[in-house]
A and B are shown apart, each in its own frame.
Chain A
Amino acid sequence: MGGTSSKLPKDLLSEYQELTFLTKQEILLAHKIFSELQGGENGPYSSRVSMQKILTLPELKANPFRKRLCHVFSTSDMKDGSLNFEDFLDLLSAFSDTATLEIKSHYAFRIFDFDDDGTLDARDLEKLVNCLTGETDDTRLTAEEMRQLISNILEESDIDKDGTVNLSEFQHVISRSPDFVSSFKIVL
């Protein structure tokens, strides 16, 4: 807030354009929004924004995966989900219009991998389904339905039959869902 409206220098702007899938307008808009988020922090030049502040953005506020998003894209050593501007751009780039299927499916896999062990096992899948189906009692799946659903999912996607879905199997099953690319989008 106030006088220090930092403008993005031109060489940084071209670097961001080159390394992400975002257009110039998108990067400038992201910079503006990120500066506003930063403005309220302890110091005007602390480069990381805490997770709580990021989650006040309207685009992320109601997203069921908001905490996972911050954790996946954060490069902070303290593993607290705080993002600097480049992490923020990474997030927007993965969710942009022109990002490739490989990038989107890679990050989708990491987001769905709740215990960060590199594979989607039955517990990750259960958490995923619960995340997406709501918390009220009448919409939650019963234990029996959950068991049945997870076994259906594994039957469909676990090609090497080891009981978990690894990255390649996930990317394979995603490539057969034509709706994925168009729904895996967040626009500022």
Chain B
Amino acid sequence: ELTKDILVIPGKSELVSDLVNLSAGARFQAIRSLPMSFNERKTVRLTSFIIIHLCNISDNDTFYLNLNLYLSQQEQSELSRQHLIIWQDTLKEIGGRFGTSVLSYFLFLKWLLQFNLFSFIINFCFITIPQIVHAPNISSTTGFRGLELLTGVGYFNQTVLFYGGYNGEVIVSKPAYNMQLAYFFTIAAYLKDLVFFLLLLSMSRSFQKNFVLETGPVSGGAWRLLCSWDFSVVNEKAIQYNKNNLAIQLKESLSERLQEKNKMSLSDRIKHLSLHLLAWLLSLGLAIGSGAGIYFLGTDPELAFSFSHNPNNLRAEASTLLLPVVVSLINLIVPLLYSLISKIESYSNPRAKIYISIIRNVILKMSILGILCFYWLNFVPNSISCWESFVGQSVYRLLIIDFIFCLLGIFFGEFLRNVIGTMCIQSLGVPEFDIARNVLDLIYAQTLAWIGIYFSPLLPVMQVLKLFIIFYLKKISLSLNCQPPKHIGRAAQIQTVFIAILFFPSFVGVLSMVAYTVWSLEPSNQCGPFQGLKTPFHTIFNWTASIQNFPESNWVWWIFENILRSELFYYLISLIVLVITYFLWQITQGRKQLIKTLREQIVNVSAEIIRTTL
């Protein structure tokens, strides 16, 4: 039987000889990727094994040993792929009913959860545990009341939840543990290296996959629509729904193509342009107005500091919640106004509409956060004694109130809207699950958490709890209330855009804010690990000065003084990066040209073939 199978092989001899030259792992992968039936693949595999082992004179035992080794490596890699296998069934169910684009929201949520869990563990191990174990007791002046959970002050004030609860001493143990350095390095390492590289890697990977070189005839998108048919949807009603949507989208794209061919008259174009301009002016005006409103509310001396002056006044404590509530209300109402404004504009492209609405919402949220940071870094340090804890508590309040508004939003936005849409006003219909808005809310909350991490090292634990609860509530609300979004397709590109948003305004902004705090702001004198220093960065100076005395670690000091602190180094690095970028861009341009030429060649060759056969 064996020989009979081998005799079938002759047509595939080239294939087998290619396979023989690969390494074991690559060979298995290549065999799997063969578009043949199972039995044919089995035959190919057997033949390649026999040929390999005829060439190497090894006995059967090593043959099977290699196989088992490879398989056990496979299993191990499978195990490592299943980190956080919670929610596997739930995610499959969501994907089956609503498709991959809604699933991508939940996957993003799970990714953020893993991230926050990881950062919590790091902070807890390196900063909090030494503080709890070794540092002297910091007693609280007031007992625990219920309001603390919302406002974060009072009982929580001097605990390890906030910056003020940490001491900057060198803990006497073997080896000596310098709390200042630990605090500094933990936050710096976490923010810069891990988050930076993780985000950069995932962004560049998805950018590469999804924004491929767009060359050739401009696609009307017909193939894209057809090929994005979601096979993982199994619910019959959902499939029917998807079919209807696809038909509508195909018709829309056809009419767009026809419309492109009819040029618009000049007056029409001017009208459209002026409407766009008006819409942009209104949106930017709303964003600036909200920013100004928050700033004035925040700097109102009566409101802002009434609590710090009267720590025991319950009403003053409750008034600290006013600012977060106003911020959350703005975050809720202004995007609705934006969607109303976008109704007056007409877009040639539904994708442009989604992107523009995302950009406007991002501008709004970043301007709110920017104003808050400006207020915290410029106004607060001069007015309050333990200002880092104050900032940490403000961030804590913002996150909690945002969470409460999210819960309210699920209830009112989805549940009630479903009830109204189906019972009272039939024309409204069932609400659509708005992926863009939900993802932007997640990104906003995550940016707040990153801002707060320097001032409140245990903030990620709150994010973890929050995300956990939101996952389940959103899932329940999804199954009960919503229908899948109408515009399918392009999920992967939108996901890249979201990760890019997470990286650029969000993370880079946070990084610059923390860098400014550490580099130039004077830490408060009464509390925290950096008391008494001129800036928190001076810990590094002190540390390098202290190790200068040890001859064997002289090289650290040398590197620090001459390389990291000299401007010439950074100038050279930026120059090199710019030159490399220019070269790579030129290569891309050259490749585009090459593709164009090759296409023309293909057409010519096939026309030639047809001509010569006739």
Report the separation of the CA atoms of residues A90 and B42 in the bound assembly, to the nearest whole angstrom. 12
Interface of chain A: mostly helix, strand, loop or mixed: helix
Residue among B216, B222, B248, B257 having the largest count of chain A Cβ atoms under 10 Å: B222
- A182:B250 contact, CB within 8 angstroms: no
Are A64 and B239 closer than 8 Å at their CB atoms?
A: yes
CA distance A133 to B234 in the complex (A): 16
Q: Is the CB of A159 within 8 A of B603?
A: yes
**A132-158 CB contact bits vs B (8 Å, 1 = yes)?**
111000011100010011001101110
In the complex with contacts A148-B254, A152-B254, A103-B220 CB distance below 8 A: no
Contact A62:B236 (CB < 8 A) given known A14-B71, A132-B229, A153-B222: yes
Q: Does A114 belong to the interface (CB within 8 Å)?
A: no
Q: Which residue of B lies closest to A145 (CB)?
A: B254
CB contact under 8 A between A149 and B229, given known A160-B602, A160-B603: no
- A145-B251 contact, Cβ under 8 Å, with A75-B37, A86-B38, A179-B227: yes
- A95 CB within 8 Å of chain B: yes
A56 CB–B CB distance under 8 Å:
no
Interface residues on A, range: 35 or more
A93 to B41, CA, bound (A): 13
Query: Is there a chain A Cβ closer than 8 Å to B576's Cβ?
Result: no
Closest Cβ neighbor of A187 among chain B residues: B92
Question: Are B37 and A90 in touch, CB under 8 angstroms?
Answer: yes
Per-residue interface assignment for chain A, residues 65 to 89, with 1 indicating a CB less than 8 Å from any chain B CB and 0 otherwise: 0000000000100000000001101
A14 touches B67 (CB 8 A): yes
Residue of B nearest to A188 (CB): B92
Given known A133-B247, A139-B244, A178-B493, contact A183–B223 (CB-CB < 8 A) = no
Which of A1-9, A20-28, A32-40, A42-50 participates in binding chain B?
A20-28
- Within B210-232, the residues touching A (CB, 8 Å) are 210, 212, 214, 216-217, 219-220, 222-224, 226-232
Residues of chain A with a CB closer than 8 A to B8's CB: none
Residues of B close to A100: CB separation below 8 A: 32-33
Docked-complex contact B74 and A17, CB < 8 angstroms: yes
Residues of A within 8 A of B250 (CB): 129, 133, 141, 145, 149
Interface residues in B, total, Cβ within 8 A: 66
**CB neighbours of B606 from chain A (8 A):** 160-162
Contact indicator B228/A179 (Cβ below 8 Å): yes
Return the contact of B223 from the options A58, A59, A156, A187 (Cβ within 8 A).
A156
Does any Cβ of A come within 8 Å of B429's Cβ? Answer: no
Contact mask B120-144 → A, CB, 8 Å, 1/0? Answer: 0000000000000000000000000
A135-B33 Cα distance, complex, nearest whole Å: 35
The contact of B224 among A86, A99, A103, A179, by CB within 8 Å, is A179
Are A149 and B222 touching (Cβ within 8 A)?
Answer: yes
CB of B599 within 8 Å of the partner chain:
yes
Contact present for B231 and A63 (CB under 8 Å): yes
Per-residue CB proximity of B62-98 to A under 8 Å, as 1/0? 0000011011001100100000000000001001000
Q: Check A18 against B224 for contact (C-beta < 8 Å).
A: no
A58-B234, A149-B222 given as contacts; is B32 within 8 A of A15 (CB)?
no
Q: Are A132 and B75 in contact (CB-based, < 8 A)?
A: no
> Which one of B71, B236, B603 contacts A18 once the chains associate, using CB atoms below 8 Å?
B71
CB distance from B148 to the nearest CB of A (A): 45
By a CB distance below 8 angstroms, the chain B residues around A187 are: 92, 95, 232
Interchain CB contact under 8 A, A139 and B227: no
Closest to A88 in B: B38
Q: How far is the CA of A186 from the CA of B210 in the complex (A)?
A: 22
Give the CA-CA distance A20 to B243 in the complex, in Å. Answer: 31
- A155-B234 in contact (CB<8A): no
A23 to B234: give the CA distance in the assembly, Å.
22
Pick the residue among A108, A141, A153, A179 that contacts B491 (CB under 8 A).
A179
Measured between beta carbons, the chain A residues less than 8 angstroms from B95 are 187
What chain B residues lie within 8 Å of A128 (beta carbons)? Answer: 226
Identify A183's interface contact among B39, B228, B240, B251, CB under 8 A. Answer: B228
Q: Please give, as numbers and ranges, the residues of chain A lying within 8 Å of B212 by CB-CB distance.
A: 175-176, 178
| A95 nearest CB neighbor, chain B only | B231
Q: Is A29 an interface residue (CB 8 A)?
A: no
In the complex, are the beta carbons of A177 and B228 less than 8 A apart? Answer: yes
Distance A132 CA – B227 CA, assembled complex (angstroms)? 10
Q: Closest B-chain residue to A89, C-beta based? A: B38
A18 neighbours in B (Cβ, 8 Å): 28, 31-32, 45, 67, 70-71
* 21 contacts across the A-B interface (CB closer than 8 A): A19-B42, A62-B236, A62-B239, A64-B229, A75-B38, A86-B38, A86-B39, A87-B38, A103-B32, A103-B33, A155-B217, A156-B222, A159-B599, A160-B602, A160-B605, A179-B227, A182-B492, A183-B230, A184-B231, A185-B232, A187-B92
Question: Which 4 pairs between the two chains have the least Cβ-Cβ distance?
Answer: A160-B606, A86-B38, A133-B247, A134-B243
Given A24-B78, A160-B606, A187-B92, 11 extra CB contacts under 8 A? A20-B38, A63-B231, A63-B234, A89-B38, A90-B37, A107-B35, A149-B222, A161-B603, A177-B224, A179-B491, A182-B492
